[in-house]
Amino acid sequence: MLDIKFVRENKELVKENIKKKFQDKKLPLVDEVIELDKRVRELKQTGDELRKEKNETSAKIGTLMRDKKIDEANEMKARVVEINKQLVDIEQEETELNASLKEKMMVIPNIIDPSVPIGKDDSENVEIEKFGEPIVPDFEIPYHADIINALNGLDKESAGRTSGNGFYYLMGDIARLHSAMLSYARDFMIDKGFMYCVPPFMIRSDVVTGVMSFEEMDAMMYKIEGEDLYLIGTSEHSMIGKFKGQIVKEDELPLTLTSYSPCFRKEVGAHGIEERGIYRVHQFEKQEMVVLCKPSESMDWYNKMWKYTVEFFRSLDVPVRTLECCSGDLADLKVKSCDIEAWSPRQQKYFEVGSCSNLSDAQARRLGIRTKGENGTYYLHTLNNTVLATPRGMIGVIENNLNEDGSINIPKALQPYMGGKTKIEKRK
C-alpha cells in the first residue's frame, strides 16, 4: 500500500505506473482517493477547530458560574452540547471515509522498479541468465509421474479417494528424496546465516490482507469455515505477519529468516490442477527465505537471495535460468520479481521452481512493521524467495539425474540425507 501523501504529491506518476501494469480500470481510483483524502483532512481540521472551541468555551463556563452569570453560562453549555453533537457526526463520517480510503488504497499497485521490463503478462517475461549446461540425453525421458510410478513412489489413485484431485501419496525412496531435499534446503540456508523457523500454518484475515493483494487471496487461500483463519499458501505469509504492529530495533537489522511449512493453494485460474502429475497441486512443502531490512539495503538483498536459489539447484546438478518478471506479471505489492526456472530434459525447456520478490515497504505499511533510527521511525522493506518448493523442485532433480534404465542418481549433496544411498532403483 502506498503512502497517501505520496499519491497526493505524485498523482500522474501513480497513474502512469497503473498503465504500465495494464490495469487501466484502476485509474479512477487515484482521483477518488485524493478526493477522499481531501475530505478527511477537511473533517479533521473542522474537528480540531471545534475541539479547541469546546475547550475554550468550557473554561469560560466555570468563570461565568463563579460570577453568577447563569444565563450566559447556560448559553455556553448549550453550545458545548451542540459541539459534541457535531463532533460525533464528524468522527463517524471520518471513520467511514477512512475505511473507504484504505480499501481503495489497498487496490492501487505498488510503484514498480525502473528496471522492470514493460509487458502485459508472463509471456513477455525476459530471460536474464542461464546457469549450467542444459542437456538432453540420447534416450527418451518419460513423464515425471511415470518415472516415479515405475519406482513405486507415487499413488494418486488412493489420494483421489481420500482427498480428491490435486493430492498425492509419495512413498519409499521417492518420499525419502522429497524429505532429503527439504532437509538439505534447511541446512543450506542455515549455513548462509539465516535463522531457521517453523511458523504457524494458519493465519488471520488481517495478516492475509497485509501480505497479499485481494486478487491473490481469492485465487490462492483456503478459509477455515466458521473461523477467522486461513491455511497459508507460503510461509512468507506467517513469517511477515510475525512482526505485525512491531517496532524492530534498527541495530538488529537485517532480519534473515528461513522457514519450513506445508503450503495449501486452491490454484484457481488458467493453469488448473494436473490430473496425472505432481507439478501443480493443492498441497506441497516449501523452504522459504524472508528478509526484513532497511530500504537502502533491499535491492542488495534481492540480488543475494535469488543467487542463493541458483546455487542451491546447481549443487543438485540441475541447470537453471533466471527470468525477469515484466510489469503485467508482477503482483500488486511487488516492485521487482524474478523467477528461477529449472531445465526439463523431457520438455526441452525450463519450468518455474522458485520466485524472488522485493515488496519495498508495501507489506510493512499494511501491517505496521517499523524501525526507529536517528532520523525517526520508518517502515522496513520486506523480501521473500523460494529456496525449494517440492515436489516441483524434485521433478527437476529426477529428470536431470535420470538413467536410461529408469534409476535416478542421487546428487552428492543429498546422499548424507539418504543414508549414503547413491541411486534410487526399483525394488525387486
- pLDDT score for 42: 96
- pLDDT score for 267: 79
pTM of the model: 0.90
Q: How far apart are CA 158 and CA 264, in angstroms?
A: 19
Q: How far apart are CA 314 and CA 320, in angstroms?
A: 7
- Per the structure block, which three cell numbers stand in for 119? 509487458
- pLDDT score for 223: 93
pLDDT tens-digit map of 228-265: 999 999 999 999 999 999 999 999 999 999 999 999 99
Q: How far apart are CA 337 and CA 326, in angstroms?
A: 8
Q: How far apart are CA 388 and CA 239, in angstroms?
A: 16
Question: Is cis: bond before 254, omega within 30 of 0?
Answer: yes
- pLDDT score for 10: 97
- List per-block mean pLDDT (blocks of 10 residues) for the chain, which spans 428 residues: 94 98 97 96 95 91 83 89 94 95 95 97 96 95 96 95 94 98 98 98 95 82 94 96 97 97 82 76 96 97 98 98 97 97 97 97 97 93 97 97 97 98 88
Q: Is the dihedral of CA 193, 386, 283, 209 positive or negative?
A: positive
- Per the structure block, which three cell numbers stand in for 354? 522458485
pLDDT tens-digit map of 292-316: 999 999 999 999 999 999 999 999 9
Q: How far apart are CA 36 and CA 405, in angstroms?
A: 68
pLDDT tens-digit map of 44-102: 999 999 999 999 998 898 788 888 888 888 888 999 999 999 999 999 999 999 999 99
- Per the structure block, which three cell numbers stand in for 153? 513412489
Q: Which domains, from first to last, does the chain contain?
A: 4-105 (1.10.287.40), 122-424 (3.30.930.10)
Which residue(s) pair with 381 in the sheet? 293
- pLDDT score for 269: 58
